[in-house]
Structure 1
Amino acid sequence: GDSAPLPGVIDADGMLPGLAQMLEAQFPLQAVRLVGFSFGGMTAGMLAAAYPHLVQQLVVVGAPGIGLTDKHPFRLKGWRHLEAAQAQLAHHVFNLGALMLHDATRIDRDTVALHVHNVWRDRLPRRRISSTNILVRSLAQVECPVAAIYGAEDALYPGTLDQVAACMAAAARQWQGLQRVAGAGHWVQYEQPAAFHAVLLPLLAG
């Protein structure tokens, strides 16, 4: 989150040209295997659709943009308006439990510090496009193989991961399947890192 902001960009669709330029500069001779988490997974899907020559494989992790509902099944607490650091901290802890992690016992000092570091660098706090079906529509244009990984208890899609998988399978041209990581919520790679890598690395190796 320490990179320079893109001028005038207010949502994921405005980021695509800048991201494409970055990939072309860093990897001029080859397409990449692209893994994106959450908002980054949705953005990665849009990028692969718009610039197919840049991506040889796409793995979306806990990504929104499926379009099953226009409302999230959880409510987060705002914190930027709070002056007291202790009040902000309490809201960060609540939000971690409401959205990011399935096991509340994982919310320790280091987890909260990392979460605070992340949200302070959030350039696009509203993210209206994520409540649409933009990822599913993008997958219909993606030419490379596509896979998905979700925590089995992801708060974005409680009890509906079968529907998520069906939507993606119907849209993607080369569908590699949706894999669930048991005991994990939305922040699957943080909550269950060993299990997450056990799923991800064979996909990339393949």
Structure 2
Amino acid sequence: MQDGLSTTTEAPEAWLAGLEADARRLKTPCGDGTMAWHIWGEGEPLVLLHGGSGSWRHWARNIGPLSQHRMVVCPDIPGLGDSAMPPQAESPAPVAAIIRAGIGQVLGAAQCYDLCGFSYGALLSGHVAAQAGEELRSVTLVGAGALGPKRQVTELTKVRSLEGEARIAAHRHNLAALMFADPAKIDPLALAIQEWNTRHARFVSRGFAGSTGLRDSIAQARCPVALLYGERDAIAWPELELRFAALRSVQPEAWTGVVPGAGHWVAYEAAATFTAMLLDMLRRRIGS
């Protein structure tokens, strides 16, 4: 299983379809419908929660390498991708409860697992950690907001009314503004993922990013915690240290890391470096 299209001439949509076809697919209850789960590999479970307006495809370049070492479990967060909308709620906590219940059904209530969440998925990971018991071995937060420090405003282009070349140009602009540090790394696969995710996104999570919801929830975590950013993450740069300090104010032993030169979607833009760092962090924190 590859980490991207660099070694093949296959079209991005076909490559993504092949990656999805390699997965074991499950469903768990979510609102009036179901939550979609994809599982690759064997071994100790690593649950990956994607970002806002996303899907499991946010992890497309990491799934293959990670699944050589772990069982990789990627749900579509409620209201995004192929998962049904969650019941209306004033905070992310009820959505996290749906995810936690789904993890228990997919893995078995007694199965221990590690959790890694990106952006909105990091916020939900904090709430899952606050609710979880000994089954959660560690939580890794990637590109996290909602820690207290204010983030810079990122102007994005609305794409829903656009089609054709104008829509592709809008995707490219939005990826350059928010997700990538180096626009030259916005390749056809990234554009294909952005297009699919945007078409399927219904739940709007941006309103949570300016809160202290993650700092408050992760304070209750009883497992090892880590926080990782791309060096040029648009929601944190140039004040990464403020965010590390905010986390350490509630989790003094937290591990922190920076991927040089990468942006918000660090797991894609610097896939090999990110994957190696995540595996190393897990080994050093929990010995797996």
- TM-score for both structures, normalised by structure 1: 0.90
Q: CA deviation at 1:83?
A: 4.1
- 2: CA distance between counterparts of 1:6 and 1:54? 24
Measured against aligned partners, the alpha-carbon deviations of 1:133-174 in whole angstroms (never above 9, x if no partner) come to 111111211111100111000000111001111110111154
Which structure ranks higher in relative contact order (CA pairs < 8 Å, sequence separation ≥ 6)? 1
How far the C-alpha of 1:62 sits from its partner, in A, is 0.7
User: Contact 2:85–2:203 at 8 Å: present in 1 too?
Assistant: no
Q: Is the 8 A contact 1:23 1:54 kept in 2?
A: no
Shift of 1:60: 0.6
Aligned residue runs from structure 1 range 48-197, under 5 A:
48-69=129-150, 72-80=152-160, 82-172=161-251, 174-175=253-254, 177-197=255-275
In 2, the alpha carbon distance for the partners of 1:119 and 1:12 equals 21
Q: Which moved more, 1:52-61 or 1:93-102?
A: 52-61
- CA drift of 1:126 comes to 4.4
Q: 1:31–1:54: 8 Å Cα contact kept in structure 2?
A: yes
Task: Structure 1 unaligned segments of length 5 or more: list them.
Answer: none
CA RMSD between the two structures: 1.8
2:281 aligns to what? 203
Alignment correspondent of 1:25: 105
User: Structure 1 vs Structure 2: percent identity of aligned residues?
Assistant: 32
Structure 2 vs 1, CA of residues 118 and 2 (structure 1 numbering), >3 Å: closer, same or farther?
Answer: same
Superimposed CA distance per residue, residues 96-130 of structure 1 (whole angstroms, 9 cap, x where no aligned partner): 00000011101122211111112222232243122
Runs of at least 4 residues of structure 1 off by over 4 A?
Answer: none
SS at match of 2:209: helix
**1:36 maps to amino acid:** G
1:43-80 deviation per Cα after TM superposition (whole angstroms, max 9, x unaligned): 101111122344110001111111211x5332111111
Bigger share in helix: 1
* TM-score, length-scaled by structure 2: 0.66
